[in-house]
Structure 1
Amino acid sequence: MGNETVHTYKWQDKFYVGVEGIDLEHKNLLTCLNKLIVAQHLDKSIVLKLADEVILYAQFHFLSEENLMYLLHSRDLEAHCQEHKTVIKTLQNKRGHLEESINHLQDFAEYLVHWFVEHTQTTDRQFADYINHCQAEKDTPEYLIKSLEVAV
């Protein structure tokens, strides 16, 4: 791969899952990735730190989603957690390639975006539908989540 320029990724309406907190975190994850892409011509140490930020934000977001799933008794929790672990492991591996050469940035970005597009429109949308149709009893964790997670 030569010195190709990796382009930023714009938020699209198709990424909305319909749960405000999840949608906000998804936007933030895309922002972290775009920050990394915009900095691709800066010093390698900065690029690596921004790649770390993407991975750490993804870990935060995944934990946040998994906690929601746990509190709402989602049957898909185990499979969702496994998918998240695979993504983090792959991103960490691709980050290692960035240490060898910043030219691997496109591979890092394309992997995350491809997964993000697929995941938001399938797995996360199904979970959002589950949240939005969840009947929660007052004074339960589920009720608190429903009161905080207003559909967009």
Structure 2
Amino acid sequence: METTDTLDVQPSAEPGIVLTFEAQTYLRESGKWATFLGILGFIFCGLILIGALFAGAIFSKLAAISPNPSAVMLQGMGGFISVFYILLDLVYFFFALYLYQFGIKIKQGIVFADQFHLTAALGKLKSFFKYWGILTIIILSLYALILVVFFGVIAAMHR
């Protein structure tokens, strides 16, 4: 007796994942929250930018009204603080942007059953977490560098 295994199953051109109604509900709700947080992020970016632009004037005014002669140093700090907060604002802006784009695209993808928007939304979510991860690595590296310098200075002081 000869046995032949013939399977009539053809591999599909696009292997797909079927999203259950529950999964679609979770994604749609996540999209609403992501859009909300993205919009709040944009608002806070605007507030940080306004604060950064006025920091120079605020520090100059503080230096002018302070009776302490060393307060003149505050005038120079205004520019540094402005640049620092503008850079911080730029970093924060991309978090808000990726969240907002994810929220908009995931809602469109689910509501219209559009694979393109769904894929684009997940790409934005990936970018958000990748950006978060890279920034976390940079911050942890800076902490490690600060600790090494700190302990190096302490060791040098005790010689």
Greater C-alpha Rg = 2
Task: Give the TM-score taking structure 1 as reference length.
Answer: 0.41
Between Structure 1 and Structure 2, the one with more helix by share is: 2
Task: Give the TM-score taking structure 2 as reference length.
Answer: 0.39
Question: Comparing both chains, which one has the higher relative contact order based on Cα–Cα distances under 8 Å and sequence gaps of 6 or more?
Answer: 1
